[in-house]
Amino acid sequence: MDQRYIRSISLNKAVRKTDYFSKLGAVKALMKGDIELSDTVTCFVGENGTGKSTLLEAVAVNFGFNPEGGTLNFSFSTYDSHSALHSLIKLTKGYLRPKDGFFLRAESFYNVSTYIERLDSDEYANALGAAAVKESYGGVSLHEQSHGEGFFSLIMNRFGGRGLYILDEPEAALSPMRQMSMLRRINELVKDGSQFIIATHSPILLAYPNAVIYELDEKGIKQTEYERTQTYLTMKGFLDRPGKMIDMLFDEDNNGGNNDKNRY
């Protein structure tokens, strides 16, 4: 059964050359055609500046999520920095509507945590008829946990299944062990009818079985296999021979590692 809540992403309006995001690989890809999403896990991987986060933000906002993250019911703003790309794209939606959903982005997690605290205060809880909001997030204030523990607590406790989960670099605060635990949690949620769209640099998260992986560069996008991604190849190359890689990176005669892209 097709359990996609979003089936594909396409451009609905023309991108102007003056739009800063027109030069991003993700947007160049949309100019050439639709991006098809998996019914389970779709991963976007690539160097910084290729448009992974911009694309995920546009998808999330177009679907109805708050630009800074949270559930479909979150409504707050601390700094209006999201691009206008969300207004230029079209999401082809599935036959089902998600019963749950969350847009998680590393850079604004503090703001989301603060909003959750606000909801859990007596004033807001009474006004909303929603007592003990933070129980849904593990029962402990996200601000009273480390950044990584807060991230992990949210993923383990708040994500409830039959949901659409859009995650922007969720590994940013997680140790390798926590990332592996997150993989297991993702699998549980997929079995419960969830769809994930993830932008990541993590070779651990990319390893999710049968995930559709899109690799972005300055030219556009290509669907690829796990072991062909630059992220996997770079990490494997380093771990296979760390000493040699360190020597290459620190070798002043080789320009201090500025040509590292060609060495791996």
- Nearest 5°: phi and psi at 33? 160, 180
Distance of CA 161 to the CA centre of its chain: 17
Q: Running DSSP on this structure, what letter comes out for residue 121? A: S
Average pLDDT over residues 71-90: 73
Confidence (pLDDT) at 71: 80
CB distance 57 to 27 below 8 Å: no
**For the chain, what is the largest distance between any 2 Cα atoms, rounded to a whole number of angstroms?**
66
Question: Domain residues of the chain, as ranges?
Answer: 6-106+162-174+186-226, 229-264
Cα(209)–Cα(127) distance, rounded to whole angstroms?
Answer: 44
In this prediction, what percent of the chain has a pLDDT beyond 90?
59
Cβ contacts of residue 8 below 8 Å, gap of 6+? 34, 35, 36, 37, 91, 92
Cα(27)–Cα(54) distance, rounded to whole angstroms?
Answer: 9
Q: Could you give the 3-state DSSP secondary structure of residue 222?
A: strand
Cβ contacts of residue 243 below 8 Å, gap of 6+? none
Cα(51)–Cα(42) distance, rounded to whole angstroms?
Answer: 15
Q: Which of 30-44, 71-85, 161-175 has the highest mean pLDDT?
A: 30-44
Question: Any bridge partners for residue 173, and if so which?
Answer: none
Confidence (pLDDT) at 228: 97
Q: Which CATH architecture has domain 6-106+162-174+186-226?
A: 3-Layer(aba) Sandwich (3.40)
Give 107's pLDDT tier (boundaries 50, 70, 90): low
CB distance 205 to 171 below 8 Å: yes
Per-residue pLDDT tens for 114-165? 555 565 554 555 444 444 445 554 455 544 455 567 778 788 888 888 999 9
Q: What residue has token string 């859990």?
A: 120
Q: Which of 29-43, 80-94, 99-113, 126-140 has the lowest mean pLDDT?
A: 126-140
Give 263's pLDDT tier (boundaries 50, 70, 90): very low
Give 251's pLDDT tier (boundaries 50, 70, 90): confident
| Residue predicted with more confidence, 150 or 249 | 249
Per-residue pLDDT at 216 exceeds 80? yes
Q: What residue has token string 């694309």?
A: 55
Per-residue pLDDT tens for 157-205? 888 889 999 999 999 888 999 999 999 999 999 999 999 999 999 999 9
Would you state the structure tokens that stand for residue 199, as one six-digit string? 């932008």
Q: Which of 59-73, 106-120, 223-237, 250-264 has the highest mean pLDDT?
A: 223-237
- Nearest 5°: phi and psi at 6? -125, 125
Q: Which of 18-32, 57-71, 148-162 has the lowest mean pLDDT?
A: 148-162
Cα(114)–Cα(119) distance, rounded to whole angstroms?
Answer: 9
pTM of the model: 0.83
